[in-house]
Amino acid sequence: MTHARAERAALSDLFVQLGPDSPTLCEGWTTFDLAAHLVLRERRPDAAGGIALKPLAGHTASVQESLKARHGYAGLVELIRSGPAGLYALPGLDQAVNTMEFFIHHEDVRRAQPAWEPRELPADLEEIFWKRIRMAGRLFLRRSPVGVVLRRTGGGVALGGPKGTSRVEVAGPAGELLLFCFGRQSHARVGLSGDDENVARLMEAPLGV
């Protein structure tokens, strides 16, 4: 089983366990909302533009609500569990595109619950995440107000944020650094060092794609 499919299956199980009204780290979204988002992303590409483009967000939100009404929570979870659909079902694309997506959203649900603890990820999954950070760290951190040094536990450094400014160092395993880079700063188990004001500004920045 690929990591993308493993994260999909684990998230589907967690959706069933928690029900439709549990919180997530996605601001304003319950587990019901997040399940609808994942189905929309894979099965309604005509409405997915609003995920990234604000002028289209109203249409995306409307379609997301219609998916909730049409399928219900249990139906949405089963659509997610059934596997990648549309373009995402093409060989290799699920692993390439959905590994990060489902890991991050799995953690969005896990870490919104009481007494969560970080998982120990497989070494090859950590390596996948670190390669993505090294390739796209500047994209993930493009809205950082300060320079950032990402220092991976066990070795490796990646840079992001504006050049020629004071830097904040963020240290931890690759999975935790990935969550930090995708706007989950307050729920990522990382160490931060640097000027207190710069650290505070980085913690509040709208990071991610």
Convert the pLDDT of each residue in 106-137 to its tens digit: 999 999 999 999 999 999 999 999 999 999 99
Query: Given this model, what pLDDT does residue 187 score?
Result: 98
Asked if 161 and 151 touch (Cβ cutoff 8 Å), the reply is no
Per-domain residue ranges for the chain?
A: 3-110, 123-204
Place of tokens 């979870």: 77
Distance from C-alpha of 143 to C-alpha of 3, rounded to nearest angstrom: 29
Task: List, for residues 156-184, the tens digit of each pLDDT value.
Answer: 999 999 988 889 999 999 999 999 999 99
Distance CA 199, CA 168 (A): 6
Q: How far apart are CA 149 and CA 114, in angstroms?
A: 30
Above 80 in pLDDT, residue 55? no
- What share of the chain in percent tops pLDDT 70? 97
For the segment 61-91, what is each residue's pLDDT rounded down to a tens digit? 888 999 999 999 999 999 999 988 888 888 7
Separation CA 6–CA 58 (nearest Å)? 32
**Coil, strand, or helix at residue 8?**
helix
Residue 172 bridge partners (DSSP)? 152
* Mean pLDDT estimate for the chain: 93
Name the pLDDT band for 60 (thresholds 50, 70, 90). confident
Residue 60 is inside which H or E element, if any?
A: helix 57-81
Non-local (6+) Cβ contacts of 207 within 8 A are 140, 141, 143, 144, 180, 181, 182, 183, 185
Asked whether residue 56 carries a pLDDT value surpassing 70, the answer given is no
Q: What is the mean pLDDT of residues 91-116?
A: 95
pLDDT of residue 53: 64
Which residue in this structure is represented by tokens 């490796």? 156
Please report how many Cα atoms fall inside a 13 Å half-sphere around the Cα of residue 191, on the Cβ side: 7
Q: Where does residue 22 fall: left (phi above 0), alpha (psi -120 to 50 degrees), or beta otherwise?
A: beta
pLDDT digits (tens, 9 = 90+) for 185-198: 999 999 999 999 99
**pLDDT value at 11 more than 90:** yes
What are 193's two structure tokens? 């060092």
Is residue 47 predicted with pLDDT exceeding 80?
no
Q: What is the pLDDT of residues 23-36, one digit of tens each?
A: 999 999 999 999 99
User: What are the Cα distances from residue 141, in Å, to 24, 159, 164?
Assistant: 22, 9, 15
